[in-house]
Chain A
């Protein structure tokens, strides 16, 4: 008999740059061990997951991360008083810091559990620190540096060979082939994501991604490599295929072991023409393509739940190679009353 459990999930924005919430919920709904009741936590009133009533039982709006931890805690305390939440499953980079900091209090005062990276793990893997991170753990990372002003652009050729990648500290990346293009992207990215802007050496090769779950003790609960086979203009995977790549799996396991990674993660690598792997990014949560892992035989969100509950997860050592995911869009028809309810009452 399945155990009944109430899980609050964020990342319900199943849009063209999708959050992982909806596929995480889909995975949890397919759990063989848990009968889940899903509470959706949304930031915006048009996040599609709010209206997916076959997946989400009840939704609540929560304050944006910049509102601070106390405001978030109070809102979660109210939601918990109504819904008696067992677990919180955060899925956004920008909200993670608040949830990581609140985790001990959530467990102590509200008996809500979660399973997230430590603050140290979260901060160390940040884009601006990735170069140092690579050196510390013996991982190949493209050379990068932070710049805070356009006056630093002329010195780029002394450290890099064009093209370079110009990156925002949270999001956005553009390839620049000369100083003028760097300046253009610097202004565009810094206006949106603030400073610093990161300059990273461009590596020619094929981008490959890994989804994984670390048990916090150096063990890898499961891991599936994927190559994007259809990419949107925002660089998001619209289709992908599970790969058979032992070198990539070993690189991922090595990183998780070296860092004692705790929770879900996505590793983005570039495989150079001489078959060397360079780590481009560590995303500290499951990616939006998490359901491919489920399709390949690894229900990583289900094992995440077991870890959060303090139970022993099932460690996966196989998956189906060659399984593909193909994303699609779907127009839901929603009564204005529902939009009105979430907009005015903050819950639906």
Chain B
């Protein structure tokens, strides 16, 4: 299962800090919501259910954006496989 690395710091404003390499990022609200779900080790289905209930978005678009987002998080070394 893919989750966010445990030491990643996330602020309420969407500012993300990786203390392992000093990288920092700014997220919009939907990105922040997705990252918080990943941090809580929610499954893919649970995460998507939360996003679908909160935002006006269709499932196909979410599926596509979800994988793009996950790929990006992986490239930025923010994820770990548990």
Contact = CB atoms under 8 A, between A and B. Distances in A.
A322 B19 contact: yes
Contacts of B22: 226-227, 229, 240-241, 243
Contacts of A240: 22
A322 B20 contact: no
Interface residues of B, number: 7
A243 B17 contact: no
Interface in B4-51: 7, 9, 17, 19-22
A338 interface: no
A206 interface: yes
Contacts of A30: none
A229 B17 CA distance: 13
Name the prevailing secondary structure of the B interface residues. Answer: loop
A211 to B, nearest CB: 15
A301 to B, nearest CB: 24
Interface residues of A, number: 13
A243 B21 contact: yes
Contacts of A227: 21-22
Contacts of A244: 7, 19-20
A245 B77 CA distance: 14
B19 A206 contact: no
A58 to B, nearest CB: 39
A119 interface: no
B26 to A, nearest CB: 15
A321 B22 CA distance: 9
Contacts of B21: 206, 208, 227, 243, 245, 271
Interface string A241-257: 10111000000000000
A244 B20 CA distance: 5
Interface in A307-347: 321-322
Interface of A: 206, 208, 226-227, 229, 240-241, 243-245, 271, 321-322
Interface of B: 7, 9, 17, 19-22
Q: Please name the 8 residue pairs, one residue from A and one from B, whose CB atoms are nearest each other, closest first.
A: A244-B19, A227-B22, A241-B22, A321-B19, A245-B20, A243-B22, A322-B19, A244-B7
23 contacts: A206-B21, A208-B21, A226-B22, A227-B21, A227-B22, A229-B22, A240-B22, A241-B22, A243-B19, A243-B20, A243-B21, A243-B22, A244-B7, A244-B19, A244-B20, A245-B19, A245-B20, A245-B21, A271-B21, A321-B19, A322-B9, A322-B17, A322-B19
